[in-house]
Amino acid sequence: MIRAANLTQVTDYYKSNTVSKQNNTEKAKDVQPNAQKIKSSEDKLSSKAQKYLETLRKDNADFDFIIADKGDDFRGLVDQSDKEFTVVFSSAELERMASDEKYAREKLSTVKTAVEMSDKINEQFGFERAWGTTDNSGTVLNKLTMSFDDDGKMTLFADLEKITEKQKERLEELKEKRAEEKNQEKKDVTVKRTTIQANSKEELLEKISELDWSKIIEEKATQGMKFDITI
């Protein structure tokens, strides 16, 4: 059986820069309380591919590996993940990886660049890490997703969240105030959210640089978002 290439270096980096597993699990519950209802295409895999996927997850526990084909609720599957980095394979793509060791190594080599890509985005645009910090107050890179279709073509998704200066000031005032009415006021906190889709790292960076937040509609902040609204 082909063993998945280990992402130990990435895993160690991830662990040293993120909050505890317990906190991540709690965040996941907030994001998608009905996650179990979302069906993937994992049950389409052959026994060989299922064993390979099991090994892949075991060796790279800090990445979430999802199997999704056309017709699956891709967004729902990604949203329910409790990991900062999500990798989505089609069932056909994973079958090929399970049978072709060289091909699998090539794909996993690409997967390993997720952390570097995340760091590059945060550094270039001054964003904050959504995972590993307890008080996000600017623009955060909530999640970075890599998706591979039947032909191995990669698509990147960067989920961004931003709190406006006005809302940021309001939160600070509430934290200082600590008044009884704060519970009512914090319900009105709003943030902006968007997902950037690209077919390469270069295209992703270009689209992020061209993002106009003024065109993104604000929405009510919830516990599932990465901003600290539990004042």
Neighbours of 39 (CB within 10 A): 12
Q: Could you tell me how far CA 16 lies from the centroid of its own chain?
A: 17
What pLDDT, on a 0 to 100 scale, did the predictor assign at position 133? 52
Residue 146: both structure tokens together: 């890599």
What pLDDT, on a 0 to 100 scale, did the predictor assign at position 196? 95
Residue 97: both structure tokens together: 């990886």
Query: Backbone phi, then psi, for 38, in 5-degree steps?
Result: -85, 120
d(CA 160, CA 182) in angstroms, rounded, equals: 27
What pLDDT, on a 0 to 100 scale, did the predictor assign at position 20? 39
Pairing relation of β-strands 190-198 and 218-220?
Answer: antiparallel
Query: Count of residues for the chain?
Result: 231
Please give the average pLDDT of every successive group of 10 residues along the chain, which has 231 residues: 43 42 44 61 96 94 92 94 92 97 94 89 83 61 92 94 68 58 57 92 93 89 52 40
pTM of the predicted model, to two decimals? Answer: 0.70
Residue partners of 159: CB distance under 8 A and separation at least 6: 141, 142, 143, 144, 145, 193, 194, 195
Residue 201's alpha-carbon distances to 9, 41, 54, 113, 156, in angstroms, are 21, 27, 28, 10, 8
Q: Tell which residue, 147, 54, 143, has the closest CA to residue 93.
A: 147
What pLDDT, on a 0 to 100 scale, did the predictor assign at position 170? 58
Residue 13 is given by DSSP the state H
SS3 assignment, position 56: helix
